[in-house]
Structure 1
Amino acid sequence: MVDAVTTTNNADARIKSGTGMLASNFETFLTLLTSQLKNQDPMSPVDSNQFTAQLTQMAGVEQQLLTNDLLKSLVAAQGGGGLGEAATYIGKDATAAWSATKMDDGEASWSYELGANAASATLQVLDGTGKVVWSGDAPAKTTGLHDFTWDGKATIGNDGEDGEVYSLKIVAKDAAGKAVDAQVLTRGRITGVEMYEGEAFLTIGKSIVPLSTVIALEEFEDPASAA
């Protein structure tokens, strides 16, 4: 998927490449022009019109170098603006297609969505190494969004530990045994943002999710103010 970060990086690479070529050509041009002036025949100097044209070319190359420097500054500013843009999401309620979260106070919570009613739906909690530590029936098998909270009690291996990252997986099937579309989601209010390797990440509850995984945003409505 091509995103704003990829586009910015590609643009910066092209500008750097073009600037390097122009700088090289500029240095070569100056060397040749200087040599021409030093070795010209005093009895037959360089034609003034030709010399003016060469100086005009040199000024054009220099101007292009300055333009590229300006473009580099603009690209850098655009990349740095990613944090400012992401910060505008703080305070909003978000839904992200993301399955990893930290356990806190002995619990880890997720949401999951079913595209149709399922005859069977199995949930699996995986630890940071990808090993299944808990498996069981989904609490709801009807179409739509549902919440699930794991109490940290493992059915396989060790119980969950606070501060550790766990992820949720769902497998759902209809009465005919065919797979039902399903996805694990992270939902909650955005409380912070940070940049990592040029990509914006949002803090949603106990999860840190890439901005690119957010599929829905809503203005937070305080029940107290509504009352």
Structure 2
Amino acid sequence: MAVDTSNTMQGGPSGTLMNAVNPKKATATDSTKADQDKFMTLLLTQLKNQDPLNPMDNAQITSQLAQLQTVSGVNKLNATLDSLRGDYKASASLAATNMINHGVLVPGSALQLAGGKAVFGIDMGTAADQVQIEIKDSSGKAIHVIDMKSVKAGTMPLVWDGTLADGKKAPDGAYRIAVTATTGGAKLKDAAALTFGTVASVSTGAAGIKLNIPNVGTLTMDDIKQVL
């Protein structure tokens, strides 16, 4: 026995239900068309009700039509910008998701020694004649010093193997780093320490895209100085 499904799929109860669940969304084209219709309705109403002794001249009509074109152009431009914003957000979300499980260097002085290895970095705004990196324990005491010369501007990843000033090995744990850079004897203000962390997850919301990095915090893509 053949079953007629045309009524069910198009205009029957199921079709009505589907239309209710998935209503047609208004598009920028629909909005522009609606504005044009309203404008033309107002213009025709003006023409019908104009004073026969003082009718609208061609310049007035041309001016109003030009306004219509301007409004339509602005609506189309806004629609294009909305589309570009959507594409940018999608691209940014994808880029952030790809950061998961990647090690990154971000501004910070925390240093974690694990398995006899601690990754960190320095961010140099300008080149320096000398750079001194102090590694400090929880009490703030410097336990190891790294001296570098002729350091170029940019981001530089570094590794500390836990060796102390007396040649012994420091126990695994939390430490801190301090960076001092000089050129011609003058201290530079644009030298900063970078801490290392691994991106665990990504969250999105009204505040934008956030990278969640354990033991470091919640940061933005702009905070990332280097991906390792």
When the two structures are superposed, what TM-score results if normalisation uses the length of structure 1?
0.48
Larger radius of gyration: 2
**Structure-2-length-normalised TM-score:** 0.47
**Relative contact order (C-alpha < 8 Å, sep 6+): which is higher?**
1
